[in-house]
Amino acid sequence: MRSTTTQHRSTTRARARRRRRLLGLAPALALGLLLGLTATPGLTPPAAAVGGSFTDNLDTYNTSLWHKADGWTNGGMFNAGWRADHAWHNGGVLGLNLDNTSCPGGCSGRPYASGEYRSNELYSYGRFEVRMKAAAGSGIVTSFFTYTGPGDGQPWDEIDVEILGKNTRQMQTNYFTNGVGGHESVIDLGFDAAAGYHDYAIEWWNGGTINWFVDGRLVHQENGSRGPLPTRPQRIMMNLWPGIGVDGWLGPFNYTGQRTATYEWVKYTQY
C-alpha cells in the first residue's frame, strides 16, 4: 500500500500532468475543455484518419507527417512558450532547444522558449520507437509519448516515456486512460541518457499489454492490473520543457544556458 506522502505526490503529479497533456495541443485546447469546446483555432486541424506504419529519419521537416507548436504556451507547470524555430533539423537529427529567447509577446508571459514536435495523424496499436539523446539539468523533461484528447474529439489517453533532467540515468513511464493516470514507474537505465543516443520503444497491444523497451530490452510492462489501458488512436509527440511549481517532482530549474534534446529517428509499426 502506498504511503500518504506517496499518494499525495502521485496525485499532485497526475493533476499537474493532466493540465500539461490537456494543454499538449494548445492553450486554447485546455480552455476548450473547461468550456466544453472541442475546436482549437490556429492549429493544424485534428486528423480524421489513423496513420499507418512509417519510418522518419528526421533529416528534414516532413510536413506530411509532423507539425510544430508555435506562438503559445501550455501554461501551468510549463515555464516556456513554444516556438517553431526551436524545433530544427541539422546533421541528420531533429533538435529541440530550450533557452531564454523571447517569443512574440514575451512567450505568453513565460521566461523561456522551447520546441514541441507532433504528428499530424493519430496512430493506434503498434510499436512506437525513437532514438534520442536527452537534455540534462534539474527541472527539465525530455519526452517521447503518445497523446489524444478533446482536440481530437476523444477523451484523454496517453502513453509516456520521460527522461527527467535531474537524473538522466533513469526513465519514467506512465499511461492515462479516460484522463486517469497515476501509473508512474521509474526505470534505472544503466547508462546516462544525456551522454549518447539510445533506442526507446512503446509496444501497445490491443486488449493486452503496454511494454516499454530500452535498446531492445523489455524494462517495464503494464497489463491493466493498475487500471484500464488506453484504447484510442493517439498522436506521436516529442517535447522539451522546464517546470515551475513542481520542484518536488522535477527539481528546481535554474537557467545556465541553452539545453537541447536531439532525436535521430522515429518509427511506427502498425499491429
Catalogue the active-site residues. 158, 162
Give the Cα separation of 73 and 194 in Å (integer): 25
Strands 112-114 and 80-82: parallel
Using CB atoms within 10 Å of the CB of residue 240, give its burial: 0 to 12 exposed, 13 to 18 middle, 19+ buried. buried
Give the Cα separation of 141 and 242 in Å (integer): 7
Which cell is 116 given?
514541441
Which residues, 6 or more positions from 36, have their beta carbon under 8 angstroms from its beta carbon? none
3-state SS, one letter per residue, for 195-244: CCCEEEEEEECCCCCEEEEECCEEEEEECCCCCCCCCCCEEEEEEEEEEC
